[in-house]
Chain A
Amino acid sequence: MLETTEQRPAGPPAGITVEEAVRAVAEVLEDRVGDWGEICPSTPLAGLGLDSFDVAELFMILEELAGDPIDPRSGDGLTIVGDLTRLRLL
Protein backbone atom coordinates (compact mmCIF):
# COMPACT_ATOMS: atom_id res chain seq x y z
CA MET A 1 0.00 0.00 0.00
CA LEU A 2 2.60 2.54 1.07
CA GLU A 3 5.15 2.06 -1.66
CA THR A 4 8.82 2.19 -0.82
CA THR A 5 11.86 0.68 -2.42
CA GLU A 6 13.76 -0.88 0.45
CA GLN A 7 12.84 -3.16 3.33
CA ARG A 8 15.08 -1.91 6.09
CA PRO A 9 13.19 -0.02 8.78
CA ALA A 10 15.80 0.27 11.47
CA GLY A 11 14.85 3.27 13.55
CA PRO A 12 12.94 3.30 16.81
CA PRO A 13 9.14 3.07 16.85
CA ALA A 14 7.41 6.31 15.91
CA GLY A 15 5.10 5.88 18.86
CA ILE A 16 1.89 6.48 16.93
CA THR A 17 -1.13 5.30 18.89
CA VAL A 18 -4.13 3.60 17.35
CA GLU A 19 -6.27 6.64 18.07
CA GLU A 20 -3.76 8.93 16.42
CA ALA A 21 -3.57 6.68 13.37
CA VAL A 22 -7.33 6.65 12.95
CA ARG A 23 -7.55 10.40 13.39
CA ALA A 24 -4.73 11.05 10.91
CA VAL A 25 -6.36 8.94 8.21
CA ALA A 26 -9.70 10.59 8.86
CA GLU A 27 -8.09 14.03 8.54
CA VAL A 28 -6.62 13.17 5.16
CA LEU A 29 -9.98 11.94 3.95
CA GLU A 30 -12.15 14.57 5.61
CA ASP A 31 -13.08 16.47 2.45
CA ARG A 32 -13.69 13.30 0.48
CA VAL A 33 -16.89 11.39 -0.14
CA GLY A 34 -16.27 7.64 -0.07
CA ASP A 35 -17.81 4.31 0.64
CA TRP A 36 -15.34 3.26 3.31
CA GLY A 37 -17.71 4.24 6.09
CA GLU A 38 -16.31 5.18 9.47
CA ILE A 39 -12.55 4.92 9.77
CA CYS A 40 -11.52 2.41 12.40
CA PRO A 41 -8.33 0.51 13.21
CA SER A 42 -9.39 -2.44 11.10
CA THR A 43 -10.22 -0.38 8.01
CA PRO A 44 -8.16 -1.69 5.08
CA LEU A 45 -5.77 0.95 3.76
CA ALA A 46 -6.09 -0.40 0.24
CA GLY A 47 -9.79 0.46 0.12
CA LEU A 48 -9.35 4.12 0.95
CA GLY A 49 -8.07 5.22 -2.43
CA LEU A 50 -5.10 7.09 -1.03
CA ASP A 51 -2.90 8.48 -3.79
CA SER A 52 0.74 9.43 -3.39
CA PHE A 53 -0.21 12.98 -2.41
CA ASP A 54 -2.54 11.65 0.30
CA VAL A 55 0.20 9.38 1.59
CA ALA A 56 2.58 12.33 1.74
CA GLU A 57 -0.01 14.27 3.72
CA LEU A 58 -0.61 11.31 6.03
CA PHE A 59 3.09 11.01 6.74
CA MET A 60 3.28 14.75 7.36
CA ILE A 61 0.57 14.49 10.00
CA LEU A 62 2.14 11.44 11.60
CA GLU A 63 5.57 13.06 11.56
CA GLU A 64 4.18 16.04 13.47
CA LEU A 65 2.74 13.65 16.03
CA ALA A 66 5.98 11.71 16.29
CA GLY A 67 8.16 14.80 16.39
CA ASP A 68 10.70 13.28 14.01
CA PRO A 69 10.81 12.11 10.38
CA ILE A 70 9.20 8.74 9.82
CA ASP A 71 10.98 6.13 7.73
CA PRO A 72 8.70 5.64 4.71
CA ARG A 73 10.15 2.13 4.27
CA SER A 74 8.51 1.11 7.51
CA GLY A 75 5.17 1.57 5.76
CA ASP A 76 5.79 -1.48 3.60
CA GLY A 77 3.35 -4.26 4.14
CA LEU A 78 0.90 -2.28 6.24
CA THR A 79 -2.63 -3.38 5.40
CA ILE A 80 -5.00 -1.76 7.89
CA VAL A 81 -5.19 1.62 9.58
CA GLY A 82 -4.12 0.16 12.90
CA ASP A 83 -0.88 -1.01 11.30
CA LEU A 84 0.28 2.61 11.20
CA THR A 85 1.28 2.14 14.84
CA ARG A 86 4.13 -0.01 13.50
CA LEU A 87 5.77 2.90 11.67
CA ARG A 88 9.31 3.68 12.72
CA LEU A 89 11.49 6.76 12.74
CA LEU A 90 14.48 7.26 10.48
Chain B
Amino acid sequence: VTPLQNEPVAITGIGCVTPLGSGAETLYRGWLAGRCAIEAGFGRCAGFDPGAVLTARECRRNDRYVQMTLVACEEAASQAGWIEGVPYEPDRLGSVVATAFAGQHTFETELDKMRAKGALAVAPLRVLMAAPNAAAVAIAMRYGLRGESFGLSGACAGGAQAVGAGMRLIRAGALDGVVVAGADAEFTGLGQATYAALGAVSPTGRCLPFDRRRDGMVPGEGAGVLVIENADKARARGATLLGELVGYGSGNDAYHLTMPNPASQARTIETALADGGVAPEDLAYVNAHGTGTRLNDVSETEALKRALGGHAHRVPVSSLKSSIGHLQGGAGAVEAIATLLALRDGTAPPTLSLEEPDDGLDLDYVPGVRRALDPAHIHGGRARGLTNSFGLGGHNASLVLRASVGARSEASVDPVQAPAPATALT
Protein backbone atom coordinates (compact mmCIF):
# COMPACT_ATOMS: atom_id res chain seq x y z
CA VAL B 1 0.00 0.00 0.00
CA THR B 2 1.45 3.35 -1.06
CA PRO B 3 0.73 6.31 1.20
CA LEU B 4 -0.81 9.20 -0.67
CA GLN B 5 0.75 11.88 1.52
CA ASN B 6 -0.92 15.15 0.61
CA GLU B 7 -3.09 13.90 -2.24
CA PRO B 8 -6.69 15.12 -2.38
CA VAL B 9 -9.37 12.78 -1.12
CA ALA B 10 -12.60 12.45 -3.07
CA ILE B 11 -15.99 13.31 -1.63
CA THR B 12 -18.57 11.05 -3.26
CA GLY B 13 -21.54 11.40 -0.94
CA ILE B 14 -22.99 13.91 1.50
CA GLY B 15 -25.97 13.84 3.83
CA CYS B 16 -27.42 16.01 6.54
CA VAL B 17 -30.04 16.18 9.22
CA THR B 18 -30.27 19.74 10.50
CA PRO B 19 -32.84 22.07 12.01
CA LEU B 20 -33.62 23.16 8.43
CA GLY B 21 -34.71 19.61 7.63
CA SER B 22 -33.26 16.38 6.31
CA GLY B 23 -31.00 16.56 3.29
CA ALA B 24 -27.83 18.39 2.35
CA GLU B 25 -29.60 20.39 -0.34
CA THR B 26 -32.36 21.27 2.10
CA LEU B 27 -29.77 22.73 4.43
CA TYR B 28 -28.01 24.63 1.70
CA ARG B 29 -31.09 26.02 0.01
CA GLY B 30 -32.61 27.00 3.34
CA TRP B 31 -29.45 28.85 4.29
CA LEU B 32 -29.30 30.69 0.97
CA ALA B 33 -32.96 31.59 1.27
CA GLY B 34 -32.30 33.21 4.63
CA ARG B 35 -34.22 30.73 6.73
CA CYS B 36 -33.53 30.64 10.44
CA ALA B 37 -34.53 27.42 12.23
CA ILE B 38 -33.66 28.62 15.72
CA GLU B 39 -36.60 28.72 18.08
CA ALA B 40 -36.56 29.50 21.79
CA GLY B 41 -32.78 29.52 21.85
CA PHE B 42 -32.28 26.11 20.27
CA GLY B 43 -31.86 24.76 16.78
CA ARG B 44 -34.10 21.71 17.00
CA CYS B 45 -34.65 19.19 14.23
CA ALA B 46 -38.35 19.47 14.91
CA GLY B 47 -39.53 17.54 11.88
CA PHE B 48 -36.99 14.75 12.13
CA ASP B 49 -38.65 11.39 11.49
CA PRO B 50 -36.17 8.51 11.73
CA GLY B 51 -38.89 6.06 10.78
CA ALA B 52 -38.87 7.47 7.25
CA VAL B 53 -35.51 5.77 6.72
CA LEU B 54 -34.89 3.37 9.59
CA THR B 55 -36.85 0.30 10.63
CA ALA B 56 -38.79 0.34 13.87
CA ARG B 57 -36.12 -1.83 15.41
CA GLU B 58 -33.32 0.47 14.24
CA CYS B 59 -35.18 3.39 15.77
CA ARG B 60 -35.57 1.54 19.03
CA ARG B 61 -31.98 0.34 19.15
CA ASN B 62 -30.36 3.71 18.45
CA ASP B 63 -30.13 6.91 20.41
CA ARG B 64 -31.40 10.11 18.76
CA TYR B 65 -27.93 11.30 17.80
CA VAL B 66 -27.24 7.94 16.17
CA GLN B 67 -30.59 7.97 14.39
CA MET B 68 -29.71 11.34 12.91
CA THR B 69 -26.32 10.04 11.82
CA LEU B 70 -27.84 6.98 10.18
CA VAL B 71 -30.45 8.98 8.30
CA ALA B 72 -27.80 11.41 7.04
CA CYS B 73 -25.56 8.46 6.20
CA GLU B 74 -28.24 6.83 4.09
CA GLU B 75 -28.42 9.99 1.99
CA ALA B 76 -24.64 10.13 1.63
CA ALA B 77 -24.26 6.41 0.94
CA SER B 78 -26.99 6.53 -1.65
CA GLN B 79 -25.29 9.41 -3.44
CA ALA B 80 -21.98 7.57 -3.34
CA GLY B 81 -23.56 4.44 -4.75
CA TRP B 82 -22.88 2.39 -1.64
CA ILE B 83 -26.42 1.25 -0.92
CA GLU B 84 -26.52 -1.70 -3.29
CA GLY B 85 -23.16 -2.83 -2.04
CA VAL B 86 -19.91 -1.25 -0.97
CA PRO B 87 -17.44 -0.70 -3.81
CA TYR B 88 -14.31 -1.94 -2.05
CA GLU B 89 -13.33 -4.81 0.21
CA PRO B 90 -15.18 -4.35 3.51
CA ASP B 91 -11.88 -4.54 5.38
CA ARG B 92 -10.79 -1.41 3.48
CA LEU B 93 -13.76 0.66 4.62
CA GLY B 94 -14.29 2.40 7.93
CA SER B 95 -16.27 4.96 9.88
CA VAL B 96 -15.31 7.87 12.10
CA VAL B 97 -18.01 9.82 13.91
CA ALA B 98 -17.48 12.78 16.19
CA THR B 99 -19.82 13.77 18.96
CA ALA B 100 -19.47 16.18 21.83
CA PHE B 101 -22.26 14.90 24.06
CA ALA B 102 -23.34 11.61 22.47
CA GLY B 103 -26.45 10.36 24.25
CA GLN B 104 -26.10 12.66 27.22
CA HIS B 105 -29.86 12.96 27.60
CA THR B 106 -30.12 9.18 27.91
CA PHE B 107 -27.27 9.02 30.41
CA GLU B 108 -28.98 11.61 32.56
CA THR B 109 -32.31 9.78 32.39
CA GLU B 110 -30.75 6.45 33.35
CA LEU B 111 -28.77 8.08 36.13
CA ASP B 112 -31.97 9.57 37.52
CA LYS B 113 -33.57 6.12 37.47
CA MET B 114 -30.59 4.54 39.20
CA ARG B 115 -30.58 7.15 41.95
CA ALA B 116 -34.31 6.79 42.46
CA LYS B 117 -34.72 3.03 42.25
CA GLY B 118 -31.28 1.42 42.33
CA ALA B 119 -28.93 -0.21 39.88
CA LEU B 120 -31.53 -2.70 38.67
CA ALA B 121 -33.53 0.16 37.17
CA VAL B 122 -30.83 0.93 34.60
CA ALA B 123 -31.67 -0.14 31.05
CA PRO B 124 -28.29 -1.41 29.82
CA LEU B 125 -29.23 -1.29 26.17
CA ARG B 126 -30.08 2.39 26.36
CA VAL B 127 -26.73 3.19 27.94
CA LEU B 128 -24.81 1.19 25.34
CA MET B 129 -26.58 2.79 22.43
CA ALA B 130 -25.93 6.27 23.80
CA ALA B 131 -22.16 5.76 23.98
CA PRO B 132 -19.79 8.01 22.00
CA ASN B 133 -18.80 5.14 19.68
CA ALA B 134 -22.38 4.07 18.99
CA ALA B 135 -22.82 5.98 15.72
CA ALA B 136 -19.57 4.70 14.22
CA VAL B 137 -20.59 1.17 15.18
CA ALA B 138 -24.11 1.57 13.82
CA ILE B 139 -22.75 2.73 10.46
CA ALA B 140 -20.25 -0.11 10.34
CA MET B 141 -22.98 -2.66 11.05
CA ARG B 142 -25.53 -1.18 8.66
CA TYR B 143 -23.18 -1.05 5.66
CA GLY B 144 -20.81 -3.89 6.57
CA LEU B 145 -17.69 -1.74 6.98
CA ARG B 146 -15.07 -3.95 8.62
CA GLY B 147 -12.09 -1.61 8.63
CA GLU B 148 -11.13 0.85 11.36
CA SER B 149 -14.02 2.62 13.04
CA PHE B 150 -14.20 4.79 16.10
CA GLY B 151 -16.00 7.58 17.85
CA LEU B 152 -14.12 10.83 18.27
CA SER B 153 -14.49 13.62 20.76
CA GLY B 154 -12.99 17.00 20.00
CA ALA B 155 -15.76 19.15 21.44
CA CYS B 156 -17.05 21.57 18.82
CA ALA B 157 -14.10 20.91 16.51
CA GLY B 158 -14.84 17.19 16.49
CA GLY B 159 -16.85 17.08 13.28
CA ALA B 160 -14.00 18.62 11.30
CA GLN B 161 -11.52 16.37 13.08
CA ALA B 162 -13.53 13.31 12.05
CA VAL B 163 -13.32 14.43 8.44
CA GLY B 164 -9.59 15.03 8.86
CA ALA B 165 -9.07 11.66 10.53
CA GLY B 166 -10.80 9.97 7.63
CA MET B 167 -8.64 11.87 5.16
CA ARG B 168 -5.54 10.66 6.93
CA LEU B 169 -6.70 7.04 6.99
CA ILE B 170 -7.10 7.19 3.22
CA ARG B 171 -3.89 9.09 2.59
CA ALA B 172 -1.99 6.63 4.76
CA GLY B 173 -3.29 3.82 2.60
CA ALA B 174 -5.03 2.21 5.56
CA LEU B 175 -8.47 2.45 3.98
CA ASP B 176 -9.99 3.07 0.55
CA GLY B 177 -13.17 4.70 1.80
CA VAL B 178 -14.44 6.15 5.07
CA VAL B 179 -17.77 7.39 6.29
CA VAL B 180 -16.90 10.51 8.30
CA ALA B 181 -19.45 12.32 10.36
CA GLY B 182 -20.32 14.53 13.26
CA ALA B 183 -23.50 14.51 15.29
CA ASP B 184 -25.11 15.71 18.46
CA ALA B 185 -28.72 15.70 19.59
CA GLU B 186 -30.78 17.56 22.14
CA PHE B 187 -29.27 19.83 24.73
CA THR B 188 -29.67 18.44 28.18
CA GLY B 189 -30.20 20.11 31.49
CA LEU B 190 -26.60 19.41 32.44
CA GLY B 191 -25.30 20.88 29.19
CA GLN B 192 -27.53 23.91 29.51
CA ALA B 193 -26.41 24.50 33.07
CA THR B 194 -22.76 24.15 32.16
CA TYR B 195 -22.82 26.43 29.15
CA ALA B 196 -24.96 28.99 30.94
CA ALA B 197 -22.55 29.08 33.88
CA LEU B 198 -19.69 29.66 31.48
CA GLY B 199 -21.59 32.53 29.88
CA ALA B 200 -21.32 30.83 26.51
CA VAL B 201 -25.01 30.59 25.64
CA SER B 202 -26.96 33.54 24.36
CA PRO B 203 -29.40 34.68 27.05
CA THR B 204 -31.57 36.22 24.34
CA GLY B 205 -31.61 33.03 22.28
CA ARG B 206 -30.29 34.87 19.23
CA CYS B 207 -27.24 33.88 17.24
CA LEU B 208 -25.60 37.01 15.81
CA PRO B 209 -22.12 36.18 14.51
CA PHE B 210 -19.79 39.16 14.14
CA ASP B 211 -22.55 41.57 15.15
CA ARG B 212 -22.00 44.08 17.95
CA ARG B 213 -25.23 42.83 19.58
CA ARG B 214 -24.01 39.22 19.79
CA ASP B 215 -24.28 37.70 23.25
CA GLY B 216 -23.38 34.04 22.92
CA MET B 217 -23.84 30.84 21.00
CA VAL B 218 -27.14 29.11 20.39
CA PRO B 219 -26.93 25.32 20.52
CA GLY B 220 -28.55 23.07 17.97
CA GLU B 221 -28.78 19.42 17.00
CA GLY B 222 -28.11 17.50 13.84
CA ALA B 223 -25.72 15.34 11.88
CA GLY B 224 -23.52 15.67 8.83
CA VAL B 225 -22.06 12.70 6.97
CA LEU B 226 -19.56 12.54 4.12
CA VAL B 227 -18.50 9.48 2.17
CA ILE B 228 -14.87 10.00 1.22
CA GLU B 229 -12.70 7.79 -0.94
CA ASN B 230 -9.27 7.39 -2.42
CA ALA B 231 -9.68 9.71 -5.41
CA ASP B 232 -7.99 7.44 -7.95
CA LYS B 233 -10.11 4.50 -6.92
CA ALA B 234 -13.27 6.55 -6.91
CA ARG B 235 -12.58 7.70 -10.47
CA ALA B 236 -11.68 4.18 -11.52
CA ARG B 237 -15.05 2.88 -10.35
CA GLY B 238 -16.82 5.68 -12.18
CA ALA B 239 -18.05 7.50 -9.09
CA THR B 240 -19.20 11.10 -9.34
CA LEU B 241 -16.83 13.31 -7.41
CA LEU B 242 -18.72 16.07 -5.63
CA GLY B 243 -15.47 17.68 -4.66
CA GLU B 244 -12.26 16.98 -2.84
CA LEU B 245 -10.72 17.41 0.56
CA VAL B 246 -7.33 18.92 -0.14
CA GLY B 247 -6.00 20.09 3.21
CA TYR B 248 -6.42 19.48 6.91
CA GLY B 249 -4.89 21.07 9.96
CA SER B 250 -5.58 20.54 13.62
CA GLY B 251 -4.00 21.70 16.83
CA ASN B 252 -4.60 22.66 20.41
CA ASP B 253 -4.24 26.01 22.15
CA ALA B 254 -2.74 24.18 25.15
CA TYR B 255 -3.33 27.05 27.49
CA HIS B 256 -6.97 27.50 28.46
CA LEU B 257 -10.12 25.37 28.55
CA THR B 258 -12.51 27.98 27.25
CA MET B 259 -10.56 31.00 25.97
CA PRO B 260 -9.77 30.91 22.24
CA ASN B 261 -6.28 31.71 21.06
CA PRO B 262 -5.95 33.48 17.70
CA ALA B 263 -2.31 32.51 17.28
CA SER B 264 -3.12 28.81 17.62
CA GLN B 265 -6.13 29.12 15.37
CA ALA B 266 -4.01 30.86 12.75
CA ARG B 267 -1.43 28.08 12.91
CA THR B 268 -4.17 25.53 12.34
CA ILE B 269 -5.44 27.42 9.29
CA GLU B 270 -1.88 27.72 7.96
CA THR B 271 -1.33 24.01 8.49
CA ALA B 272 -4.47 23.15 6.53
CA LEU B 273 -3.44 25.42 3.67
CA ALA B 274 0.08 24.01 3.60
CA ASP B 275 -1.25 20.47 3.75
CA GLY B 276 -3.24 21.13 0.61
CA GLY B 277 -0.61 23.23 -1.14
CA VAL B 278 -3.07 26.10 -1.23
CA ALA B 279 -2.02 29.74 -0.98
CA PRO B 280 -4.29 32.16 0.93
CA GLU B 281 -5.13 34.00 -2.27
CA ASP B 282 -6.38 30.72 -3.78
CA LEU B 283 -9.31 30.72 -1.36
CA ALA B 284 -12.63 31.81 -2.82
CA TYR B 285 -14.66 31.38 0.35
CA VAL B 286 -14.22 30.90 4.11
CA ASN B 287 -16.84 29.20 6.22
CA ALA B 288 -16.27 30.63 9.66
CA HIS B 289 -16.73 28.88 12.98
CA GLY B 290 -18.64 32.09 13.71
CA THR B 291 -20.43 31.15 16.91
CA GLY B 292 -21.62 34.58 17.93
CA THR B 293 -19.80 34.56 21.26
CA ARG B 294 -17.96 37.71 22.24
CA LEU B 295 -14.56 36.00 22.23
CA ASN B 296 -14.79 33.57 19.33
CA ASP B 297 -15.64 36.09 16.65
CA VAL B 298 -12.82 38.41 17.67
CA SER B 299 -10.31 35.57 17.89
CA GLU B 300 -11.35 33.98 14.60
CA THR B 301 -11.17 37.30 12.79
CA GLU B 302 -7.70 37.87 14.15
CA ALA B 303 -6.67 34.32 13.21
CA LEU B 304 -7.88 34.78 9.64
CA LYS B 305 -5.95 38.04 9.33
CA ARG B 306 -2.78 36.37 10.60
CA ALA B 307 -3.13 33.31 8.39
CA LEU B 308 -4.44 34.85 5.20
CA GLY B 309 -2.73 38.22 5.33
CA GLY B 310 -4.27 40.80 2.99
CA HIS B 311 -6.49 38.15 1.41
CA ALA B 312 -8.50 38.00 4.65
CA HIS B 313 -10.10 41.28 3.60
CA ARG B 314 -10.81 40.11 0.06
CA VAL B 315 -12.34 36.68 0.63
CA PRO B 316 -15.99 36.34 1.75
CA VAL B 317 -16.34 34.87 5.24
CA SER B 318 -19.73 33.69 6.48
CA SER B 319 -21.23 31.67 9.31
CA LEU B 320 -23.99 29.08 9.03
CA LYS B 321 -24.74 29.15 12.74
CA SER B 322 -27.21 32.02 12.73
CA SER B 323 -29.40 29.83 10.53
CA ILE B 324 -29.29 26.52 12.43
CA GLY B 325 -27.44 27.12 15.68
CA HIS B 326 -24.23 25.47 16.81
CA LEU B 327 -24.46 21.73 16.20
CA GLN B 328 -21.43 21.16 18.42
CA GLY B 329 -19.94 17.75 17.54
CA GLY B 330 -21.92 17.85 14.32
CA ALA B 331 -20.93 21.38 13.32
CA GLY B 332 -17.66 20.67 11.56
CA ALA B 333 -19.07 17.96 9.30
CA VAL B 334 -22.25 19.88 8.48
CA GLU B 335 -20.28 23.03 7.74
CA ALA B 336 -17.83 21.12 5.52
CA ILE B 337 -20.85 19.99 3.51
CA ALA B 338 -22.24 23.51 3.36
CA THR B 339 -18.84 24.77 2.22
CA LEU B 340 -18.67 22.16 -0.52
CA LEU B 341 -22.09 23.14 -1.86
CA ALA B 342 -21.20 26.83 -1.75
CA LEU B 343 -18.06 26.18 -3.80
CA ARG B 344 -19.99 24.03 -6.23
CA ASP B 345 -22.46 26.84 -6.82
CA GLY B 346 -19.87 29.59 -6.87
CA THR B 347 -21.79 31.29 -4.10
CA ALA B 348 -20.91 32.87 -0.79
CA PRO B 349 -23.88 32.13 1.48
CA PRO B 350 -24.88 34.87 3.90
CA THR B 351 -24.32 35.43 7.58
CA LEU B 352 -27.94 35.84 8.58
CA SER B 353 -28.80 38.38 11.26
CA LEU B 354 -25.62 40.37 10.79
CA GLU B 355 -26.69 43.99 10.68
CA GLU B 356 -24.20 45.87 12.83
CA PRO B 357 -20.63 44.58 12.46
CA ASP B 358 -18.72 45.06 15.68
CA ASP B 359 -15.72 47.32 16.03
CA GLY B 360 -12.62 45.56 14.80
CA LEU B 361 -14.61 42.86 13.05
CA ASP B 362 -13.89 44.24 9.63
CA LEU B 363 -13.81 41.28 7.25
CA ASP B 364 -16.38 40.68 4.53
CA TYR B 365 -18.89 38.58 6.48
CA VAL B 366 -21.51 38.53 3.70
CA PRO B 367 -24.21 40.14 5.84
CA GLY B 368 -27.77 39.09 5.14
CA VAL B 369 -27.66 38.12 1.48
CA ARG B 370 -25.60 35.72 -0.57
CA ARG B 371 -23.42 36.72 -3.45
CA ALA B 372 -21.46 35.12 -6.26
CA LEU B 373 -17.84 34.24 -5.55
CA ASP B 374 -15.24 36.48 -7.12
CA PRO B 375 -14.18 34.87 -10.44
CA ALA B 376 -10.66 36.10 -9.74
CA HIS B 377 -10.51 33.60 -6.88
CA ILE B 378 -11.65 30.65 -8.98
CA HIS B 379 -8.83 28.89 -10.79
CA GLY B 380 -9.27 26.44 -13.62
CA GLY B 381 -12.99 26.32 -12.96
CA ARG B 382 -12.41 25.08 -9.43
CA ALA B 383 -13.07 26.99 -6.26
CA ARG B 384 -11.28 26.36 -3.00
CA GLY B 385 -12.75 27.02 0.40
CA LEU B 386 -11.71 26.89 4.03
CA THR B 387 -13.91 25.83 6.92
CA ASN B 388 -12.94 26.39 10.54
CA SER B 389 -14.03 24.59 13.69
CA PHE B 390 -12.84 25.56 17.15
CA GLY B 391 -13.87 23.86 20.38
CA LEU B 392 -13.75 24.08 24.13
CA GLY B 393 -10.50 22.60 25.36
CA GLY B 394 -8.59 24.54 22.74
CA HIS B 395 -9.34 22.10 19.90
CA ASN B 396 -8.83 23.72 16.51
CA ALA B 397 -9.47 22.15 13.13
CA SER B 398 -9.53 23.55 9.61
CA LEU B 399 -10.35 21.85 6.33
CA VAL B 400 -9.64 23.02 2.79
CA LEU B 401 -12.06 21.78 0.16
CA ARG B 402 -12.16 22.10 -3.59
CA ALA B 403 -15.06 21.76 -6.02
CA SER B 404 -15.73 22.39 -9.68
CA VAL B 405 -17.92 25.45 -9.97
CA GLY B 406 -21.06 24.68 -11.86
CA ALA B 407 -20.92 20.93 -11.19
CA ARG B 408 -24.37 21.25 -9.80
CA SER B 409 -27.08 18.78 -9.07
CA GLU B 410 -30.65 19.31 -10.23
CA ALA B 411 -31.56 20.55 -6.80
CA SER B 412 -28.89 23.19 -6.60
CA VAL B 413 -29.57 26.88 -6.53
CA ASP B 414 -28.90 29.28 -9.33
CA PRO B 415 -26.25 31.66 -7.99
CA VAL B 416 -27.06 34.45 -10.37
CA GLN B 417 -30.66 34.92 -9.39
CA ALA B 418 -31.61 37.83 -7.17
CA PRO B 419 -30.42 37.30 -3.61
CA ALA B 420 -33.02 36.28 -1.13
CA PRO B 421 -33.69 38.54 1.83
CA ALA B 422 -32.71 37.46 5.28
CA THR B 423 -35.83 36.50 7.19
CA ALA B 424 -36.94 35.13 10.50
CA LEU B 425 -34.01 36.54 12.35
CA THR B 426 -34.66 35.00 15.70
Contact = CB atoms under 8 A, between A and B. Distances in A.
Given A30-B57, A31-B57, A69-B113, A56 B123 contact: yes
A59 B55 CA distance: 19
B56 A27 contact: yes
Interface in B243-285: none
B124 interface: yes
A63 B123 contact: yes
Contact of A90 (B117, B125, B126): B117
B124 A90 contact: no
A71 B121 CA distance: 7
Contacts of A57: 60-61, 125
Contact of B118 (A27, A53, A61, A90): A90
Nearest to B110: A69
Contacts of B126: 60
A72 interface: yes
Contact of A56 (B56, B57, B113, B124): B124
Interface in B106-127: 113, 117-118, 120-121, 123-126
A63 B110 CA distance: 13
Contact residues on A (Cβ < 8 Å of other chain), bracket: 10 to 19
A11 to B, nearest CB: 9
B55 to A, nearest CB: 8
A73 B118 CA distance: 13
Contacts of A72: 120
Nearest to A73: B120
Interface residues of B, number: 14
Contacts of B56: 27, 30
Nearest to B113: A69
Interface of B is mostly: helix
A63 B117 CA distance: 14
A15 to B, nearest CB: 17
Contacts of B123: 56, 59-60, 63, 69
Contacts of B61: 57
A69 B121 contact: yes
A49 to B, nearest CB: 16
Contact of B57 (A27, A69, A73): A27
Nearest to B125: A56
Contacts of A31: 55, 57
A71 B61 CA distance: 21
Nearest to A31: B57
A48 to B, nearest CB: 16
Interface centre among B61, B124, B126 (most CB of A within 10 A): B124
Nearest to A89: B117
A61 B118 CA distance: 19
Nearest to B124: A56
A90 B120 contact: yes
Interface in B51-72: 55-57, 60-61
Interface string A49-90: 000010011011101000001011100000000000000001
Nearest to B55: A31
Contacts of A69: 113, 117, 120-121, 123
B142 to A, nearest CB: 12
Nearest to A90: B117
Contacts of B125: 53, 56-57, 60
Contacts of B121: 69, 90
A28 to B, nearest CB: 8
B147 to A, nearest CB: 24
Contacts of A60: 60, 123, 125-126
| Most chain A beta-carbon contacts within 10 A, residue among B60, B61, B113, B125 | B125
B114 to A, nearest CB: 9
Interface string B22-60: 000000000000000000000000000000000111001
A63 B125 CA distance: 12
Nearest to A57: B125
Given A31-B57, A73-B120, 8 more contacts: A27-B60, A30-B56, A56-B125, A61-B60, A69-B120, A69-B121, A69-B123, A72-B120
Interface of A: 27, 30-31, 53, 56-57, 59-61, 63, 69, 71-73, 90
16 contacts: A27-B60, A30-B57, A31-B57, A56-B125, A57-B61, A57-B125, A60-B60, A60-B123, A60-B125, A63-B123, A69-B113, A69-B120, A69-B121, A69-B123, A90-B118, A90-B121
What are the 3 closest A-B residue pairs judged by CB atoms, nearest first? A69-B121, A56-B125, A90-B117
